[in-house]
Structure 1
Amino acid sequence: MTSLSEIKREVLKRVKPTREEEQRVWRVVNRVVEKAEEAARELGVEALIEVEGSIAKGTWIRGDKDLDVFIILPREMGRESLKTVGLEIARRAAGEKWLESYAEHPYIEAEIEGFKVDIVPCLRVEKAEEKATAVDRTPFHTRYVKEHLTEEQKNEVRVLKQFLKGIGAYGAEIKVGGFSGYLCELLVIRYGSFERLVEESADWKPPVVIDIEGHYDSPGKAVQVFEAPLIVVDPVDRRRNVAAALTEEKLCTFIAASRRLLEKPSLNFFWPPPREIPFQELIKMVEDRGSHLAALRTGCPRVASEVLWGQLKKSLRGIEKLLETYGFAVLDARAWSNEREEVVFLFELEKVLLPRGRVARGPPIYKREEEKRFLESSRRRILAGPWIAGGRWHVFEERSYVDARRLLEEKVFSASLGELMREELRRRREVLIDAELEKLYREIEEFREELADFVVKKPRWL
């Protein structure tokens, strides 16, 4: 059996950037920095231009295309200056292809030689706790990691990042709910190596507390401040949990995958094999377990990824609740988008057609007003009853909807939806049941592996 150390060496060979790639990255970054410095001089602003993120810290992975350049303005200029002079410097540094994006305040997203360069204005502060916006803290993160991470540990971070990518747990964005790059760096600083981290995490039991700088007297004190399964106190800001965006699902995925990696090391954890399963096989799997697939297809709003996935997650919860409210048991649910023109809400249902009637249980007999309301409200839908059982009124009433397709077509707007998705659903929507999903499978190539993962359930790394 291949050892974990051998696997790690092979992973590092594949993920460590080549010298040529490093030179290309720094050529692009330095050009942006020079243009930003020139723009600041022209505008008479004493701005400090810094490279941030994994590039600056030396923990980036081969093929990464995201670069971060920060325009650090004097604090006395105030937050409004970020939207005016800060943004103007960023525009001049961006070149020809750029767009304005928004987080707490605007920044410029530029495309230069195939790289996505975020040019972000922020304010200079003496301590991270004095920040006016979240990004003001970023330069402190960069400095802390550069001071505490050895050259060898930078490679440990790279291996960890690829492991998390392989198991679908890398990225703190809403879409993933996983580990951020900064969190990866802090975990390696804390545990020293990738192997030690997976060995320790295999025995984690939430809440897990990591406080590298000892900001709190005890783990219990940190737990009182932060409610989260993993608490990693930011070394530069004691009020922040670096793992706040990490969902319990992704933490559990990491723990489970760490255990399996230790038991049976394999490159499949880092690069899971693709799933190429013909549509008819997928449908047969669902038929064999006696359940059904339902998909609601619609358009994709043209917004930033974070905004989109916030809308998708909210809408998915709302539609799932709608189905459950009308008696359709949801076995699994997922939202998918190619983030361009397509959105699909995908459900596995116990049944797509329900019996005409259902038993509705009313209030206890001794609650007179509630009893009266129940019997009056259900009168028009009664198929049998009412009768008393267990001290309560019961009726056998007619369901409002027996067909999941009709429910999704007619009542979707009564669900709690994100407003942008509500607009898209008004423009176009299509409900597909079971074999009808072949239309999606054929028309949207990117959706095929998502559908296969949804049907098979088992993680590809397992």
Structure 2
Amino acid sequence: MTAEDEDRERDDSDSLESGSGPADPATDSSLEAVVSRVRERVIPDDAEREALSTAATTLIDRADAAATARCPDADVLQVGSTARDTWISGDRDIDIFVRFPPNLDRETLEEYGLEVGHETLPSGHEEFAEHPYVKGKFEGFDVDVVPCFRLESATDIRSAVDRTPFHTRYLNERLDDEITADVRVTKQFCKGIGVYGSDLRTRGFSGYLTELLVCEYGGFRPLLEAASDWNPPVRLDPERPDSSSVDGSDTAPVQFDDPLVVIDPTDPERNVAAVASADNVARFQHYARDVLESPRESLFEPHEPAPLDAAALRAHLANRGTTPVAVRFDAPDLVEDQLYPQLRKSLSGITSKLDARGFDVFRATTFADDSAVVFVELAVTERPALERHDGPPVHVRSHAEGFFDAYADDPDAYGPFIDGDRYVTEREREFTTATAFLESERLLEAGLGAHVETALEDGYDVLVGDDVTELLGEFDRELARYYDPRP
């Protein structure tokens, strides 16, 4: 036995005697152990890989035959996370891009693209992003068949989807086994904390953004450590980390008004993180600190609250002492990426009008299923019959005289009188309750989304106080999230 072996045997003996042997991998709470267990769960097994490969090959062959029959110069690519081997076990997405030569006109590309999509997915349906494409199911996978132009550079794009093949090529040149494994863990972490997805309902981290962040920082843990100290706005430029310009010249870089800016390495005029909302960037930062301080697998699993029942909802209402009001209407027939921006615009418009009329908004949200709801919690629901209206300073003659003349002969107004250096009048308030405003035609002047305004014109309900229990059943989980808020 060598001296080294004797030392190792002595160390093992000491560990056993002291009861401090190696930690049980199943219960070890270190970040490395937690990540290792998550990593094992999110790596697709051989059966998943085989099923995906078989399905993708069939779809590519179909698309290629249909595309080249119409345009001999067309070709077909698989893109996205399944093409980069960064997909998570259980994900069922296959993205097929049909590339046409740039001399093809846009109208013909769209025509050929839909024809190829329907031949590839006979039971598919058409959806529209920047241009129409075909979406459907095949062998249990969710499939998109998307037409685009085959270009030499992402800066020459003619539609947003033209960039996607460049993303796949860029990352395939930079991903190795270790980074790929950390990408999967990061995606699962983002899913667990609710920030994964670039759709306009989630407004979170896309798969491409997640991959770029892991590559930029060199792994999952380095990303967490960096994010813990982010001070938005954060700007990352993977291809030009030390440059003050986007093209190597003395020109200043493109400016973006976003909390997180990650310059697309294939297109320096695009922020990959543009869709990520400020609260989702902050949420990622919060949980980065949380998992570093207290590693646990529960942070890698989405939290689905138990449905709220009527008794629990009434208890929340009694405890809070605020008044919930809900404007409920038939949800416009739109895809989520069109619906949710309109709902948020409408929420902003309605809450601004309520605040301006003195009905103090405590908190608010919006959600949709078959119905759509603007849900507002008010600290104040009733105001006096009069409201104070401040006019201009008396010394601003033209405006001051106009204000005075407007109210001097109004029998329903008190004043005008002088308070400090300006005219003031106390006039009749248009709405003394929030309910009266919400039930009036004035609601339609609140800066609503176009389709939301049309839906409200067709009719809506205003639910106040305990009446919001009528939302249970359709929105019990949404209300559970509202009354159990988490970072």
Structure-2-length-normalised TM-score: 0.87
Equivalent residue in structure 2 for 1:130, among 138, 144, 156: 156
Equivalent residue in structure 1 for 2:380, among 343, 351, 362: 351
Match of 1:332 in 2: 363
Q: Is the 8 A contact 2:313 2:469 kept in 1?
A: no
Distance 2:410 2:379 in 1: 28
Q: More displaced, 2-11 or 220-229?
A: 220-229
SS across alignment from 1:424: helix
Distance 1:364 1:151 in 2: 70
Q: Is the 8 A contact 1:328 1:351 kept in 2?
A: yes
- Superposition deviation, residue 64 in structure 1: 2.0
Distance 2:321 2:245 in 1: 47
Aligned length: 453
1:51-450, aligned counterparts within 5 Å? 51-95=78-122, 97-214=123-240, 217-218=243-244, 225-276=255-306, 277-338=308-369, 341-378=370-407, 380=410, 382=412, 384-410=414-440, 411-441=442-472, 443-444=473-474, 447-450=475-478
Q: Is the 8 A contact 1:71 1:121 kept in 2?
A: yes
Amino acid paired to 1:355? P
Q: Is the 8 A contact 2:234 2:259 kept in 1?
A: yes
Q: Is the 8 A contact 1:358 1:397 kept in 2?
A: yes
Q: Which has the larger radius of gyration?
A: 2
Distance 1:305 1:437 in 2: 24
Q: Is the 8 A contact 2:192 2:300 kept in 1?
A: yes
- Superposition deviation, residue 9 in structure 1: 2.1
Distance 1:223 1:46 in 2: 37
SS across alignment from 2:103: helix
Distance 1:266 1:279 in 2: 33
Cα deviations by residue, 1:408-455 (Å, 9 ceiling, x for unpaired):
1112211111111112112231111121111111x31xx212112222
Q: More displaced, 35-44 or 179-188?
A: 35-44
Match of 2:47 in 1: 20
- Superposition deviation, residue 119 in structure 1: 0.5
Q: Is the 8 A contact 1:295 1:346 kept in 2?
A: yes
Cα deviations by residue, 1:154-182 (Å, 9 ceiling, x for unpaired):
22111111211222211122212211110
Cα deviations by residue, 1:171-204 (Å, 9 ceiling, x for unpaired):
1222122111101001111112111100111001
Distance 2:411 2:367 in 1: 38
- Superposition deviation, residue 219 in structure 1: 8.1
Superposed CA RMSD: 2.2
- Superposition deviation, residue 376 in structure 1: 4.8
Amino acid paired to 1:52? V
Match of 1:10 in 2: 37
- Superposition deviation, residue 381 in structure 1: 7.7
Distance 2:326 2:484 in 1: 16
| % identical equivalent positions | 36
SS across alignment from 1:171: coil
Distance 1:219 1:38 in 2: 44
Cα deviations by residue, 1:63-86 (Å, 9 ceiling, x for unpaired):
223321000111222323311223
Amino acid paired to 1:302? D
Amino acid paired to 1:242? V
- Superposition deviation, residue 357 in structure 1: 2.4
Q: Is the 8 A contact 1:59 1:155 kept in 2?
A: yes
- Superposition deviation, residue 367 in structure 1: 2.3
Unpaired runs of at least 5, structure 2: 1-27
Amino acid paired to 2:30? S
Match of 2:479 in 1: 451
- Superposition deviation, residue 324 in structure 1: 1.8
Q: More displaced, 129-138 or 194-203?
A: 129-138
SS across alignment from 1:227: coil
Distance 1:329 1:407 in 2: 13
Cα deviations by residue, 1:83-136 (Å, 9 ceiling, x for unpaired):
1223222221112x2221112211111222333211000111111111111111
Distance 1:30 1:232 in 2: 33
Distance 1:222 1:337 in 2: 43
Distance 1:399 1:457 in 2: 35
Amino acid paired to 1:448? D
Q: Is the 8 A contact 2:195 2:284 kept in 1?
A: yes
Distance 1:458 1:201 in 2: 19
Distance 1:283 1:174 in 2: 32
CA distance 1:389–1:259, change in 2 (3 Å): same
Amino acid paired to 2:417? W
Q: Is the 8 A contact 1:216 1:222 kept in 2?
A: no
CA distance 1:449–1:219, change in 2 (3 Å): farther
Distance 1:231 1:61 in 2: 25
- Superposition deviation, residue 272 in structure 1: 4.6
Q: Is the 8 A contact 2:358 2:380 kept in 1?
A: no
Distance 1:352 1:62 in 2: 49
Distance 2:371 2:106 in 1: 37
Q: Is the 8 A contact 1:286 1:455 kept in 2?
A: no
Cα deviations by residue, 1:25-53 (Å, 9 ceiling, x for unpaired):
22222221111112124335321111111
Q: More displaced, 341-350 or 365-374?
A: 365-374
Q: Is the 8 A contact 1:207 1:223 kept in 2?
A: no
Amino acid paired to 2:117? A
